Homo-oligomer: A and B are copies of this chain.
Amino acid sequence: MSVTAPAGFEAAGVAVGLKSSGEPDVAMVVNRGPLKVGAAVFTSNRAKANPIMWSEQVIQDGVVEAIILNSGGANCFTGSFGFQTTHQTAEKVATELGVSAGDVLVCSTGLIGTGDELFRSRVLEGVSQSAASLSVDGGVQASEAIMTTDSKAKRSVVTRDGWSIGGMAKGAGMLAPGLATMLVVITTDAVLDASQADAHLRDATRVSFDRLDSDGCMSTNDQVTLMVSGASGITPSASEFGSALAEVCLELSRQLQGDAEGASHDITIEVVNAASEQDAVEVGRSVARNNLFKAAIFGNDANWGRVLAAIGTTDAAFDPYDVDVWMNGVRVCTAGGPDRPREDVDLTPRATHLVIDLKEGSSTATILTNDLTHDYVHENSAYSS
């Protein structure tokens, strides 16, 4: 059900030829209210796509009527023509729905530099078609229309007592914080105001999407949007809503990780006993971005030396001769020296669990990443063809 699971939302996914495969490529999600609250977080890449620049303005007042998303072209670095395309897209959605263009978010994903006349005409056609196809059952189609190199659609629903949260996500490459070629739309029929929605969304993304670092490459187009209809009439407590939202975000993050381009291992890097959460994140990220470590995991090699070499590049508090490393339950390094033989570690399962014990404090953080594989290289060496 995805984004149409909560009451008050309609969605659609249509095919207008942006993808050469003929698969659905334009999605729309509309909030029928009664609340029209929205919050969003955006890529921190300074090279921002046109839809990001547009959506950053739209979200200022916390009011969102609808979101339109296209795959098949990022509309990034396409000049003023590209920005006009985004503007026209929002205007057309507004006309179709009878709302203000200033309350319409726009997302695009695909190849950077794509955004010509043909792209524009197809996106605008997608607006018409999707507006005509809106349905309270449209969540699944919408989740399929935002796929690019994804092999499967990502959806998650959490239901609580009388209210729910639904979400959809796309992303398989450029998965790194800040965020990563990731478009996420989350809906809820719980009652929240704009500042609550914003605070909840920032809290949840900080420990979910922001800790997914598949390939260290930060996208120009990322956007995670929360839309609030309030249609349930129920106001959950902050902790209730926060934990439910975190559950949806983490579930979608896991689905993104599991479908990362070419990956053969989903690696969970758990950093424990760090001096601070920031240190734990920095250490986890440095390991997640170390190509040699990632290639070793692909080869089912418990090469813990590469883990320590990666930690050594950080500013985190740690003593190299006081660090323990566990891989899939086997302690391969104790106090910076060899422990059990690396051959004892079974790395054949896709799920890989690395624990790094820094022995400096009591903070922890978990980073999700993937291995570096032949297929990753292959998929990304021929992406634009």
Contacts and interface: CB of A to CB of B under 8 A. Distances in A.
Given A113-B304, A380-B292, A382-B301, A312 B45 contact: yes
Interface in A332-385: 333, 335-338, 342, 372-374, 376-378, 380-385
Contacts of A79: 321, 335-337
A305 B380 CA distance: 13
Contact of A313 (B178, B291, B338): B178
Interface string A197-225: 00000000000000000011111100000
A373 B382 CA distance: 12
Nearest to A312: B47
Q: Which of A79, A374, A380 has the most CB of B within 10 A?
A: A380
B219 A113 contact: no
Interface string A285-304: 00001111001101101011
Interface stretch (A13-21, A70-78, A137-145): A70-78
Nearest to A297: B381
A382 B295 CA distance: 8
Interface residue range, chain A: 35 or more
Contact of A320 (B48, B74, B320, B372): B48
A296 B384 contact: yes
B215 A308 contact: no
A295 B376 contact: yes
A68 interface: no
Interface in A41-59: 45-48
A373 B381 CA distance: 9
A158 interface: no
Interface of A is mostly: loop
B298 A46 contact: no
Contacts of A320: 46-48, 77
How many copies of this chain? Answer: 2
A94 interface: no
B309 A47 contact: yes
Contact of A77 (B313, B337, B380): B337
Interface in A239-278: none
A178 B220 CA distance: 29
Contacts of A385: 299, 301
A74 to B, nearest CB: 7
A384 B301 contact: yes
Contacts of A227: none
Nearest to A316: B46
A242 B117 CA distance: 55
B312 A215 contact: no
Contacts of A289: 216
A136 interface: no
Interface in A302-327: 303-306, 308-314, 318, 320-321
A299 B385 CA distance: 10
Interface in A76-119: 76-79, 111-113
A219 B309 CA distance: 6
A289 B45 CA distance: 15
A174 interface: yes
Interface of A: 45-48, 74, 76-79, 111-113, 173-174, 178, 215-220, 289-292, 295-296, 298-299, 301, 303-306, 308-314, 318, 320-321, 333, 335-338, 342, 372-374, 376-378, 380-385
9 contacts: A74-B305, A77-B305, A79-B336, A215-B292, A216-B290, A217-B290, A292-B380, A295-B380, A301-B383
